[in-house]
Structure 1
Amino acid sequence: MLGAVVAVNLLDAGYAPYRGLFAVNIALVLGLWLVLPWSRGHRGRRLASPAFLVATFALGLTGSAGTHVPLTLLAIANVAFVFGMRMAAAILAGQAALMSAIPLAVGRPMADVLREVGFLVVFAAFVLGMVASVLRARQLAERVRELTVAQERGRMAAEMHDSIGHHLTVIKMGLENAERFRDRRPEAAWDEVRQAKELTAAALADARRWVRALRPLALDGHLGSAALERLADSFSGTGVAVSFDVTGTERLLGPDTELVLYRVLQEGLTNALRHAGARFVRGSLAFEKGKVVLVVADDGKGHGQGRGFGLSSLAERVEALGGTLSSGNAARGFELRAELPA
């Protein structure tokens, strides 16, 4: 698009006196394009959006022979992403008014003016329609993310209730029994106290596991394989040896892919600690052609047939990203394997 603007200017001898100014204008447009924000989150760069709009509009004055209009529409679309649809519509209305008033003031035919304004209105409606669709898609994606987080929190709450809640209930009953036995059967009372102490340690270990599980994806600023490695390291104090390695050339992954890989590793480690009775767990992340593969394997006793809620939920999330999740008993222990497009 910008190449067409430059080509028209160079071929039109009538714009020769303005080519120096035109070159500066083109350089400004290119420089601003590199720093343009495309969402409201980049507050430090928001001023680049109106500056880019002015720079593209100025091309019409420095010699673009009208070929700058698509660039100006692109700039208005950027304004809609950064400042909202109302601001973009107001700018379009102002531009249409200028395109009507100035030519008519210098005596241009009404038919030519209406044709140019009509061209602007038609393409502006198309551009703003596309922007509205993208913004709506972003809202839906954010809503899906919120629902996913709510679903996962509900699952975690249920599992915490089943594990820690069960321990606390038994501890309470044991201490009540110890209180009843303390005079008549002191040995039985001490047995209840010892059992309560053991259950307290188990409940504390469960609580620590859930604290690890609730940590965010970015651990101290780490993402990708670094975040997964830190998650694996955080399980090192549980009495189970945990290792993690990466093969292949690492490349940038989408945030949804990173989050799902994080949850797969988290589920594999937690299941190995809670159910498998494993002594060693190995996580392996492999970057292959067109995909990334995460395998979590333990040397425990394996799992029963079928998937629990956690694995079923993970499988749905993996499949939603176009990947596959498989799990089952291996030659020694249990293996969880996730393949995702990369």
Structure 2
Amino acid sequence: MQMQGKRKLKTRKLPVNETTNGINATTTAIASSSLRRTLLWVEWTLIVIHVLVMVINTAGDLNDITIRHNVIALCVLMGRAVLSFYFPLNRPLWQRRTYIFLEIFVLLPAQAFTFWGLSLFLYLALTKSCFLLDRRDIMITAIATGIAWLGCDAWRLPGMIIWARENMPEYWENPQRAIVASLINNTGVYIAACTFVLLLSLTVVSERRSRQKALNLAKEVETLATALERTRIAREIHDSLGHSLTTLDVQLELAQRLYERDPHRAADALNAAKTLASQSLADVRRSVSAMREEGFDLNGAMRMLIEQFPRDLALQIDLQTNFPQLPLQTSHQLYCIVREALTNVQKHSRATHITVRGSQTPNGVLLVISDNGIGFDLCATWEGFGLRGMQERVQILDGEIKVESMPGRGTRIEVKIPLKVVKGRTR
């Protein structure tokens, strides 16, 4: 049989389930809620601790200065308490920038006009910036915050010098040196603490994003696995039952029409329908057993398929297979490919002779199915002939399928399965 036209089947892309985006959004929302709740608890714990410290330290030493400082500090804490309930993690960038600016700006009065140190809230605001801003904005925020924070320290130094001269004169004998030492000390503390907080927070952010990405990928894999399973079930139904049930329907319809006019032909149609029903049930049982069996004999299953295959006397099938012991998945897919090919030949090709050859090669396994039928034009639409299901099965095995046909010259289907699949090293 001479073949001229050659064409590889096109790869069909599996559709991605649209629910993946919804799953990712749900996962992100849960992670955001957990982060917001954690930061809220941390901030309110700091607020309560600072209020208790203020009450304890000023209980027996109330004066105008202390009262003024306490009022300013309490107003600052109230501002932070209000802001703590709003965490714009999934808001536009301008809202996140504004939020971080307010978080830091509300602390500056306490730093400039009181003796209460609220630096822990400053570092908490920098921590929040790591979750809300990109790295460029984080660095700008850290530098600008440091300048403003140290500027507030410098603004407060003259009052501290006057107070220290009155209460610790021996320490403040040289005010210029004390000012420089204080600024250097505060700058070093801020740089060290800011570096530590930012590195730790960015590490947490990176780990959190990696974990969230892993969860999203796991959900996507689960969704795609479901889609693949649905495709597999649809393919099994089409390959094993589709043709038989179609013919069964035709036979039953024929029996209905001939029931009164020609009882003998009606009986023949019913007998054919009964045979098709039995064959369909056998196909189902064979598919289930093929998925459960451990020692599936592909060569024996091929012989049984040929013996039970319904055909007229003019159609001859020449089976020449010598497959080695293959993994169950590989054997089942090859069996289904041969069954689909035989069904297609019987329905469409008008062939009188079919040859099925299968053997092991140095590179894997080779399966060739050829017939002497009418063939078809490879450039025309041929997906309805069932070749798509065969191609999908070959894709599962990482193999290649080649179809050769032209009108009047028959058809030849060649399937190659690589050695790694033959030895059971499937992906």
> Which has the larger Rg?
2
The TM tier, using the shorter chain, reads 0.3 to 0.5
TM-score, length basis structure 2: 0.39
